[in-house]
Amino acid sequence: MTARVFVPCDALSVALGADEVAARLVAETAARSLDVTVVRNGSRGLFWLEPMIEVDVGGMRHAYGPVEADDIPSLIDAGLLDAGAHRTNLGPTDQIPELERQTRLTFARVGVIDPRSLDDYLAHGGFDGLRRALAMSPSDVVDEVEASGLRGRGGAAFPTGIKWRTVLGAPASPKYVVANADEGDSGTFADRMVMEGDPFCLIEAMAIAAHAVGATHGVIYCRSEYPHSIATLEHCIGVARQYGWLGTSIAGSVLEFDIEVRVGAGAYICGEETSMLESIEGRRGMVRPKPPLPALEGLYGKPTVVNNIITLASVPWILAHGGAAYSGHGVGRSAGTLPVQLAGNIRRGGLVEVPFGITVRELIEDFGGGTASGRPARAVQIGGPLGAYFHNDQLDTVLDYEAIAAAGGLLGHGGVVVFDDTVDMAVQARFAMEFCAVESCGKCTPCRVGSTRGVELIDKIVLGEQRSANIAQLEDLCEVLEHGSLCALGGLTPYPVRSALQHFPEDFGQRNQQDEHDAQENI
Amino acid sequence: MIRDRIVRKRHLSERPSLPAAQASVVVEALAANHHDPTRLLVVLQDIQHRLGYLPHDAVHPIAIGLGLSRAEVHGVISFYHDLRTEPAGRHILKVCQAESCQATGGRALTQHIEDVVGCNLGQTTADGAITLEAVYCLGLCAASPAVMIDERPIARVTTARIDRVIDDARTAS
């Protein structure tokens, strides 16, 4: 019987040497005339263990990691194919503590299956959600999504069901489904893992959305920094067309729907939905004022569902298992699970899918194992470059939309970036403004000009030039950015800046005589 | 009719001096995208993929081919960081500048790379081997810092590792 050995093919596993491991495994087993099939799966998301290879022994997967190409001969000598003992042996994959403690709904198949294999997808419950959706009326499908409590995982946390119902009720046609795969936030990679680990799930989700709202055409807008995702998506869309999961009369129904992949061109702002629509239409990615909502006047001015990849990838599970089963997880208005991404200076970085309600400390310490450097954690940025910096005494904050907002932050796309005590928070605050200046589309003045003024003000503050007056001015500027910008780029850049200033004032230059003088004047 | 005349007149007066090989790439990219103006970004990406950059003289035939103004074409080229109007080096090394990499020594790594190759981000080495580019997140943040050379991602980058990558890029054709 042919033994199956799994070697991940996702971009980060490849970046850590997975291709070399796979090549060596093929060569070494061939040289020894062993009957082995090397399967390229997605990553389980335990990146401190990547490249992590797995062997299927009697239907149970056993893991080894991190494995280097040079380990392969000794692994085979040690009886890899029978899960033999070896320095890198991690035991049964499902019992790895950091994996066992997760609740994988959206990521149930990621790392388990061969992402390019339709058979593998079908054998693991693939297209069950679409089959069930096609037996329901569009309105009932929307009801199911509403019942799940699913909210947009891209950052805005808008209820997905309400968005879909708006598009369903819009009279104009044609309608579109746009999948936002412009995952630009630093510290996030969940979208990439889905596209490289379970791409048919995204295709299924978009077909469900198409049925629910009456759309005929879909676009996946994927950032150019993800060449592996693009190649996998292109391949799988072709396979889906070939086997009748895209095109006309999908799965024997009247549903007609197809998907095109569009590649971004290195503009962070194109992750903003209206900017993305402009980009898909071939123009500069300039933000559109809202209203009109994209749900009513989106792509080419037609009703459009724009959803993040994780939002969409949650939908097939919801349709297959029911909205109530999904909303049974989580806390309060944050229903279901959140795929958290642990990044930055962290010992065990990776993907952690857990129900809402876990604390930041549990994530960083229990799952993440503290900092990679071994030094104390000092700051944690949650929610990408537009998210607030949390002080290490705020780590008991619960991870749900409301609790994070109450603590002055935002959950964004679920990225958690840890910094140790060598970080200079004034430098980080300056970077937030600088990033906004680099990536601003330029349409509105607060963002275009304010970001550059923000950099200048922080420089002056650090140099001690009229420190207190300039801090007041910076706070004033943040208010203008927050309330006067057209979109979230300008609107949220104040979050990292203000939180850095509030929690780490000691990094922003020294109080000096001028400060004392100003302070006296104010009295 | 009037639009046709205007287009023809502009065409005659400008005479773009694109070399024949490049001109045919432009023609093919336009045809492959059905002369659809909403596919301008795709056309530009196709051309850059084949030529390595977008020659200035290509703007005019692209505008004509899609029924757009040159300003619209130029506007899109200048908006997107990926699109370049000058040829790049033989290899493009993208160095992540975003927060996750900052938290793991990314700034020092960037400085080291600039020192070793002898140019700054946004520039090409004198021997034309490597173009350095800033990138804001490669999605490899669980094993920062990260870089990408051409389309090959490399994570948990150390100075020793990047030195080998740079050496290889310099010696490879």
Under 8 Å between Cβ of A480 and A498:
no
8 Å CB contact of B79 and A267: yes
**Of A54, A69, A100, which marks where a domain is finished?**
A100
Same domain, A403 and A502: no
Let me know if residue A455 belongs to a domain.
yes
Interface with chain A: mutation pick from B141, B148, B150, B157, highest number of A CBs within 10 Å: B141
Under 8 Å between Cβ of A53 and A38:
no
Please give the C-alpha separations between residue B101 and each of A187, B153, B158, in angstroms, as whole numbers.
9, 14, 12
Chain B: closest CA distance from residue A83 (Å): 27
The tally of domains found in chain A comes to: 4
First-residue to last-residue Cα distance in chain B? 51
Write the ipTM. 0.95
pLDDT of residue B172: 78
Same domain, A378 and A262: no
Interacting residues of A31 by C-beta distance below 8 A, sequence separation 6+: none
Cα–Cα distance for residue pair A519/A312, rounded to 1 Å: 53
Under 8 Å between Cβ of A38 and A21:
no
Reply yes or no on whether the pLDDT at B1 is more than 50. no
Q: Chain B: residue nearest A46 by CA?
A: B142
**Of A420, A450, A466, which marks where a domain is finished?**
A420
**Which amino acid is located at A298 in the chain?**
G
Q: How confident is the model at residue B17 (pLDDT cuts 50, 70, 90)?
A: confident
Same domain, A378 and A503: no
**Of B55, B79, B103, which marks where a domain is finished?**
B79
Let me know if residue B53 belongs to a domain.
yes
8 Å CB contact of A282 and B37: yes
- The pLDDT tens digits for A64-74 are 999 999 999 99
Element (H, E) at A129: helix A128-134
- Specify the pTM: 0.95
Cα–Cα distance for residue pair A462/A455, rounded to 1 Å: 11
Same domain, A398 and A354: yes
Reply yes or no on whether the pLDDT at B173 is more than 80. no
Any idea what the Cα angle at residue B20 is, between residues B17 and B24, rounded to 5°? 115
Please give the C-alpha separations between residue A260 and each of A283, B49, B50, in angstroms, as whole numbers.
18, 19, 21
Interacting residues of A367 by C-beta distance below 8 A, sequence separation 6+: A98, A101, A342, A348, A352
Reading the block at residue B54, the tokens are 């977008």
- The pLDDT tens digits for B52-64 are 999 999 999 999 9
Reply yes or no on whether the pLDDT at B12 is more than 90. no
What string of DSSP letters covers A479-490? HHHHHH-SSHHH
Q: Which residues in chain A have their CB less than 8 angstroms from residue B82's CB?
A: 224, 264-266
Q: If we measure between CA atoms, which residue out of B147, B50, B132 comes closest to residue B89?
A: B132
Same domain, B48 and B104: no
Let me know if residue B84 belongs to a domain.
no
- The pLDDT tens digits for A95-141 are 999 999 999 999 999 999 999 999 999 999 999 999 999 999 999 99
Let me know if residue B86 belongs to a domain.
no
What string of DSSP letters covers A27-90? HHHHHTT--EEEE-----SBGGG-S-EEEEETTEEEEE-S--GGGHHHHHHTTGGGT---TTEE
A385 — contact with chain B (CB < 8 Å)? yes
**Of B50, B79, B108, which marks where a domain is finished?**
B79
A183 — contact with chain B (CB < 8 Å)? yes
Same domain, A323 and A335: no
Three-state SS for A113? coil
Same domain, B71 and B115: no
Same domain, A223 and A320: yes
Let me know if residue B142 belongs to a domain.
yes
Q: If we measure between CA atoms, which residue out of B13, B3, B75 comes closest to residue B44?
A: B75
**Sign of dihedral through CA atoms A89, A95, A100, A101?**
negative
Same domain, A151 and A278: yes
A415 — contact with chain B (CB < 8 Å)? yes
Same domain, B72 and B103: no
Same domain, A385 and A279: no
The residue range of the domain holding A462 is 425-522
Let me know if residue B47 belongs to a domain.
yes
Same domain, A36 and A125: no
A185 — contact with chain B (CB < 8 Å)? yes
Question: Of A12, A285, A351, which has the smallest distance from its Cβ to B140's Cβ?
Answer: A12
Cα–Cα distance for residue pair A20/A23, rounded to 1 Å: 5
B83 — contact with chain A (CB < 8 Å)? yes
Same domain, A30 and A51: yes
| Number of residues that this document lists for chain A | 523
Let me know if residue B27 belongs to a domain.
yes
Domain of A33: which CATH number?
3.40.30.10
A435 — contact with chain B (CB < 8 Å)? yes
Same domain, B12 and B74: yes
Same domain, B16 and B40: yes
The side-by-side arrangement of strands in the sheet containing B91-96 is B130-135, B91-96, B147-149, B152-154
B82 — contact with chain A (CB < 8 Å)? yes
8 Å CB contact of A266 and B135: yes
B122 — contact with chain A (CB < 8 Å)? no
Under 8 Å between Cβ of A232 and A220:
no
Reply yes or no on whether the pLDDT at B10 is more than 60. no
Same domain, B96 and B167: yes
Same domain, A296 and A209: yes
Same domain, B9 and B29: yes
The residue range of the domain holding B43 is 2-79
Please give the C-alpha separations between residue B172 and each of A20, B91, B115, B130, B154, in angstroms, as whole numbers.
19, 9, 20, 11, 18
Residue ranges in chain A whose pLDDT is less than 70? 511-523
What string of DSSP letters covers A449-474? HHHHHHHHHHHHHHHTTTHHHHHHHH
Element (H, E) at A416: strand A415-420
Q: Taking the CA atoms of chain B, what radius of gyration do you get in angstroms?
A: 20
Same domain, A445 and A513: yes
- The pLDDT tens digits for B82-133 are 999 999 999 999 999 999 999 999 999 999 999 999 999 999 999 999 999 9
The tally of domains found in chain B comes to: 2
Q: Which residues in chain B have their CB less than 8 angstroms from residue A381's CB?
A: 99
Domain of B127: which CATH number?
3.40.30.10
Q: Chain B: residue nearest A230 by CA?
A: B151
Question: Of B41, B137, B154, which has the smallest distance from its Cβ to A265's Cβ?
Answer: B41
Let me know if residue A109 belongs to a domain.
no
Let me know if residue B85 belongs to a domain.
no
pLDDT of residue A512: 65
